[in-house]
Structure 1
Amino acid sequence: MSARTSNAEDASDIERRKPPGPRAFLPWLFMLTGDVKDLIQGKTPLPWLGALGVTAFCALYATTVYAGLDKRRRPTRRCLASLAGLAALTYALSIGYAGNWLLCFPLLSLATGIVVRRRQLGPLLLAYSGSAGIISGWRGGSDDALTVGYGTMMSGLVTAAILSLFDTVAELRATRQELARTAVEKERLRFSRDLHDLLGHTMSVVVVKAEAVRRLAPRDLDAALGQAADIEAVGRQALTEIREAVTGYREGSLATELDRARSLLDASGIDAVVRRSGPPLPPQTEALLGWVVREGVTNVVRHSGAGRCEIEVRQEADQVRLEIVDDGNGVGSRSAGKAVPAGRAGTGLKGLAERLAAAGGSLETGPAGRRGFRLAAALPVDGNNGDDGNGSGDRDGEDRKGEGKDPMDVKGVRTA
């Protein structure tokens, strides 16, 4: 488990890091310090020409790096032209002066790794490495040839690999966000489709029957009353079907919500760990904890940017606790009574805290260690929670003294 946690944290760290910018590659120009030193000490023939070459090399290197790391990630003609000029100058300085000037080849390879990250990269690096080794062996010795050739090859390969890794992470992040949006959209479409299937035919029948009542009322009251009775029967049947459908969406068991949460987290590219222990819970408690799971996991997917999410349900003495902890970038308050930061919760957790309080429970939100977000809910295990799990809370308190009466009953129903 610890190894899995470590791997998840490492992946999350990589995902949060921004790709290196042009300034990260400029310090490598200090490799030319030896060339500048030779110029100052007069060890280089035609020092004015060498100084001009170093200046031009630095300018072309910087131009190539900045152009190659442009957000468009496409080598422009200007970028390719500066890279070609950098290559020509590298060969000229290395052949003309040798020695420390051969270090221009690793810098050329590094710049090439930034600009060219396709199939052409391998042949170019092989050409640079071979040229560096040949020139070094010709002007310096076989030992220097191997060192310069190897350094030239590796500088380009490592640079291209690092930048490609960041590109891949960015693509994976975009894919994960798209998968999360797709999962939410599928759920929305499913709900819309079910409502259409439930209400489309029923409402058509109601409209037709209502028109019949209007036409028959002036001349045949008994027939009109018969049509009205049909409307009542159709309406009651529709209410029953809607209750059955809504039960699946709003009052699902805790096990169902945990399965849905795991599926949504997996689809969003978030490592999901779900643990549950303890005996079965009363239906009201399960329904309310299911709401906590749904709201908490929705916030993780939409706002956290997390790579791992842990959901734990455990029973402690006379209460059950549910904790949702992620390793994302949000920082919440320490208690539900405090304001929850925008973007991580909003009114969802506020309403959830009210429902838990009405049931004798509590909700805590806040940072999870050095990073991440923690949501913890506690409920008494007595089977008498004040909330029925459908989000009504105390709003229907005045109706509870008539338990058993369906609040959606046509007779005496309170419309929202």
Structure 2
Amino acid sequence: MRIRQRCGERARKRADRGPSGLSLLPWLLMGLGALSHLLGGQAPNPWIGAAGLLAFNTVYIAIVFRAFDRSRRESPLTWGLLVTLGLLTFGLAIGYGREWLLLFPLLGLGVGAVVRRGRLLPLIAFPLVVAVGAVTFWRDGWGSIGIVYGTFISIMVTAAILALDETVRELRETREELARAAVEKERLRFSRDLHDLLGHTLSVIVVKSEVVRRLAPRDLDAALAQVADIESVGRQALTEIREAVTGYREGSLATELDRARDALSTAGIEPVVRRSGPLLAPQTEALLSWVVRESATNAVRHSGASRCEIALSGSADRVRLTVTDDGRGPADGTPGSGLRGLRERVAAAGGTLDSGPAPRGGFRVTAELPVEASVPPEGDPAR
């Protein structure tokens, strides 16, 4: 099984690398006709022909290996080598004739591998094919029409296949990058949800535990009632965490207002809840639920307030939630990570969230949203 997995991994790696210059080397066999012409003693100036054929093969190999590295393919050196290959091909074809005309399709492979796509391809391919046709007709007449066609096909097919392969690899890289970004967004979403869920729940449990400690010596029944509340809060937190993990948690604003009222009362803070305005879309309610939860949790944990007012109002298009307490606010005057995360979520839904000292003292959190907010999946507080 492990051997099969390793073979599969090696095959995937080879597929990711794509073709290389080695895939174009077998086509050099098309030059065997020119080589046999030299070895048969039929070519004039055989030493010049041999040197030219050696130079042609060397330049062709250099081009095809450079063509599969984008930075090297687009360098002036590669284009200089391509021009050199063209001069060698035309020179050998004009000087030696028929058997050497098969070098033209090899030139086409080199051109297709380097140019590949864009407006430059037809500007190079068509004049080159015309020039090849002129030379081949002069040296071999109509019998060389296959050479012209083969040169054209080698240019266009090589360029198309390699451009398609390059595009597929770019799309694969883009898909992998998007997958990595999606994972990072999901991690951020989960960390925010976990922070908001546990921060609120643990704050309520701590406050109720302190009440139990104070009540136990003098009123056991009341202390037991608080213990039952702690158990209920813990069970509810477990349910919410499971839902957050699966990504399908939906916040109910009415439920969250009741929880906030209970948590504030337990902490000795007088809750005042005012709600008016139109019916809200589920996404908007869910997002406002997070604002209520985070603001109430901060009031319980940090404010030292005696009164906290939660006001919800709105018009036909916008809804406004304000949470104001008469406490001291954050110790350093700056909002915590919970409020910063909420600000990003509200902004992604087309709204605004402001927090800071209230005009008459205390701390205020104000969120404004469209009545039907559109929450992006990666920032959806309902998930």
Q: Following superposition of structure 1 onto structure 2, how do residues 57-136 of structure 1 map, counting pairs within 5 Å? A: 57-70=56-69, 72=71, 74-119=73-118, 120-136=120-136
Give, in angstroms, the shift of residue 225 of structure 1: 10
Letter in structure 2 aligned against 1:242: A
Aligned partners of 2:226 and 2:82: how far apart in 1? Answer: 79
2:248 paired with 1:241: no
Pair 251,163 (structure 1): closer, same or farther in 2 beyond 3 Å: closer
Give the partner amino acid of 2:34: D
Cα deviation, 1:280-320, whole Å, max 9, x if unaligned, reads xxxxxxxxxxxxxxxxxxxxxxxxxxxxxxxxxxxxxxxxx
Look up the equivalent residue of 1:76 and give its one-letter code.
S
Matches within 5 A, 1:162-311: 162-207=161-206, 222=218, 232=227, 235-248=230-243
Match of 1:25, SS state, is helix
Cα gap change, 1:31/1:252 in structure 2, threshold over 3 Å: closer, same or farther?
A: closer
Alignment TM-score, normalising by the size of structure 2: 0.53
Label 1:32 to 1:200 Cα distance change in 2 as closer, same or farther (>3 A). Answer: same
> Over residues 32-80 of structure 1, what are the superposed CA-to-partner deviations in whole Å (9 max), with x where a residue is unaligned?
1111122222222211111111011011111111111237564223222
1:22 Cα deviation from its structure 2 partner: 1.7
- How far apart, CA to CA, are the structure 1 residues paired with 2:46 and 2:18? 38
Kept in 2, the 8 Å contact 1:212–1:224? The answer is no
Deviations 1:298-348, CA, capped at 9 Å, x for gaps? xxxxxxxxxxxxxxxxxxxxxxxxxxxxxxxxxxxxxxxxxxxxxxxxxxx
Determine the C-alpha separation between the residues in 2 that align with 1:157 and 1:202.
66
Q: Identity percentage over the alignment?
A: 43
* Change in 2 beyond 3 A, CA 1:204/1:118: same
Bigger Rg over Cα: 2
Question: Equivalent residue of 2:234, what SS?
Answer: helix
What is the total number of aligned residue pairs between the two structures? 237
Contact residue 201 and residue 234 of structure 2 kept, 8 A? no
Q: Residue 212 of structure 2 contacts residue 224 of structure 2 at CA under 8 Å; is this kept in 1?
A: no
More helix by share: 2
Gaps of 5+ in 1: 1-11, 254-416
Aligned pairs (5 A) from 1:336-415: none
Q: Which amino acid aligns with 2:131?
A: S
The alignment partner of 1:140 has SS state of helix
Any idea what SS the aligned residue of 2:83 has?
Answer: helix
Q: RMSD in angstroms over aligned alpha carbons?
A: 3.7
For 2:203 and 2:247, locate their aligned partners in 1 and report how far apart those are by CA, in whole Å: 30
Q: Which runs of 5+ in 2 are unaligned?
A: 1-10, 249-383
Q: Is 1:149 paired with 2:183?
A: no
Cα distance in structure 1, aligned partners of 2:192 and 2:52 = 71
Whether the aligned pair in 1 keeps the contact of 2:97 and 2:140 (CA below 8 Å) is yes
Decide whether aligned partners of structure 1 residues 235 and 163 sit closer, same or farther in structure 2, where only a CA change above 3 A counts.
farther
Q: Does the CA-based 8 Å contact 2:34-2:100 persist in structure 1?
A: yes
Which digits, 9 at most, give the CA deviation of each residue in 1:262-284, with x for residues without a partner? Answer: xxxxxxxxxxxxxxxxxxxxxxx
Equivalent-residue separation in structure 2 for 1:112 and 1:229 (angstroms) = 86
In the other structure, the counterpart of 1:29 is: 28
Paired residues of 1:26 and 1:62 also in contact (CA < 8 A): yes
Q: Decide whether aligned partners of structure 1 residues 201 and 239 sit closer, same or farther in structure 2, where only a CA change above 3 A counts.
A: same
1:149: Cα distance to partner? 1.6
For 1:153 and 1:100, the matched residues in 2 are separated by: 18
Counterpart-to-counterpart distance in 2, 1:91 and 1:232: 95
Aligned-pair CA distance for 1:208: 5.3
Change (3 A) 1:242 1:61: same
